[in-house]
Chains A and B, each alone.
Chain A
Amino acid sequence: MRRGIFTPWNGIVAYTMLVYIFTFAPIVVVLMLSFNDSMFGSFPITGLSLRWFYELAENDAIIRAFKTSLVLGSLTAIISTVIGICACIAIVRYEFPGKEFVNTLLVAPILVPEVVLGVALLLFLKWLGTSRSFFVLVLGHVIITLPYVILVVQARLFGIKRVYEEAALSLGANRIQTFFEITMPLLMPAIFAGVLFAFTISFDNVTATMFWKSAGTETVPTQIFSMLRTSISPEINALGTVMIVITVSLPLIAGALARYFVRNKV
């Protein structure tokens, strides 16, 4: 065996650390610059200050975009998760002809370029005589997030043994009761993950959203995009920090909550 610090494994560790740095350096730079006192959203750092966060809180356009994104993400997450769970139960718990095809069809949107999704839905609605609106955004985000919800929930549902449900059924519960009393509690982690996944994807989406949003409506990412057209303002960095904190803490809080509930139940 080779000795010293130049072992292949240490090489792998060093390489991995470099990739971690590559991944996080740009994010850390945004965090740093958001506390910069300077009038410009770039280096050098002239002093520490929270002024850009205050400015952010007073920027009506951004606050409005935040509200839009929150409502849009929540609606999308609820709709996608509910109809996704229904579909998963059908696919995992029932035998029916054409099952493979249905499964493929439901997951297929993942592999359709978002631009094509954007054009297709917009064109269809134009043909129907509807114009772009918030409602179109919700529909569009549901089709984008549904496959992810289905994949997450399906994987978990396969792992839940049927015997529990059969026991409940044989003891006289009907199917609805069985679902809410047995299946759903066991499925909770996947439901949680699905909701979170759908919300984050919706909250983050810009590629397709640019096609569907009406002229007056902005989500947070499209608002950032239109602000970028002029230059990088310090406010964008502050907004970036807020988004990073929200999107990183949300799954962590959700995980902690889930663990808390599990502990209190047992």
Chain B
Amino acid sequence: MFLAIKKASVRPWLLLTPSLLVVTLLLTIPVGFVVAYSFWQRTITGLEVPDLHVGNWTEFFGDYFYHYILWQTLRYAAITTVLCTVLGYVPAYFLSNTKFKNKALLVLLLLLPFWISYIIRTLSWIHILGTNGVVNIALQMLGVTDAPVRMLYVEFSVIMGFVHAFLPFMILNIYVSLEGMDKNLVEAARSLGCTGWQAFREVTLPLSLPGLAAGGLLVFVLTGGSYITPMILGGPDNSMFAGVIFETIIVELNWPFGSMLSIVLLVVLGSVVVLYSRFMGMSQVYKSFG
């Protein structure tokens, strides 16, 4: 059957057809539908009428509730990204510079959480921060407090869940960029009179920035699109934008309004990605998966 196709220029497209069909039919066209739906009208009886009305959009731009949730979502994403950077850089540096002979094992260990169920890792924080959790038991045994401290179902527990879930992305990206740099550059800096700290600041840090930025982008976008973590570890005040979308579509069945909210989230997080790729290009983000 392949004899019919003689020209080599057809072959790549033939090979690409299934993947392109998948992406077009399951992503591109559906997103187009979401855009169109965001202008539809939902009547009081729950009927959806094809329309070109901007009511959904004006409602979004006029309602402070949605602005606040969006702001909270971006704030959580930013805090998580900063904490992942702080917690992730040193271990990545350690993995890249250690002379330990089972280095591969150490790398594997730090990446192991990738393989462990996200929902299990999230709920495990209930055991750590809850009223009967490890931290509260320890605090009471040490006599720091008499009654359990409220650490669960607040902003703190949500952020902890996010950091725990997404830290491996950060470590992996920094590690990949540190492994890719020429270690002789540090030696050269040292031989020219730099102190260890200076060599790090002038040579290693700038060279690892692409990995840091790629990790930061992934953590930011992943956190910004989450809703499961705040549902499990957060209280009523810790809703996030994706959670509002879930409620609107799955619970309230308000498709036009939910579509509009989805487009808002896509544009907000998408512009972060676009901004990033303007400066850094996308290759670094994909490198760590290869």
Contact = CB atoms under 8 A, between A and B. Distances in A.
Contact of B226 (A90, A156, A207): A207
Interface stretch (B64-72, B183-191, B265-273): B265-273
Given A94-B11, A116-B31, A211 B19 contact: no
B199 to A, nearest CB: 12
A107 to B, nearest CB: 6
A15 B132 CA distance: 27
B134 A29 contact: yes
Nearest to A154: B290
A261 interface: no
B192 interface: no
B132 A83 contact: no
Interface residues of B, number: 83
Interface string B6-35: 001101110110111011001111110110
A34 to B, nearest CB: 11
B196 interface: yes
A251 B19 CA distance: 26
B20 A102 contact: yes
B27 A115 contact: no
Interface residues on A, range: 35 or more
A112 B22 CA distance: 15
Contacts of B116: 27, 243-244, 247-248
Contacts of B127: 26, 29-30, 33, 42-43, 232
A170 B273 CA distance: 45
Interface string A83-103: 110110111011010000010
Contacts of A210: 228, 246, 250
B255 interface: yes
Contacts of A260: none
Interface in B79-135: 87-88, 90-91, 93-95, 109-110, 112-113, 115-121, 123-128, 130, 132-134
A67 to B, nearest CB: 17
A126 to B, nearest CB: 7
Interface string B218-251: 0001001111100110000000001001100110
Given A107-B286, A143-B23, A243-B117, A114 B225 contact: yes
Given A42-B127, A119-B34, A23 B18 contact: no
Given A240-B117, A247-B115, A207 B227 contact: yes
Interface of A: 8, 12-13, 15-16, 19-20, 22-23, 25-27, 29-30, 33, 40, 42-44, 82-84, 86-87, 89-91, 93-94, 96, 102, 104-109, 111-117, 119-124, 126-127, 139-140, 142-143, 146, 148, 150-152, 154-156, 175-176, 200, 203-204, 206-207, 210-211, 220-221, 224-225, 228, 232, 236, 239-240, 243-244, 247-248, 250-251
Q: Which 8 A-B pairs have the closest CB atoms?
A: A155-B290, A113-B225, A120-B30, A26-B124, A94-B12, A124-B30, A90-B12, A90-B15
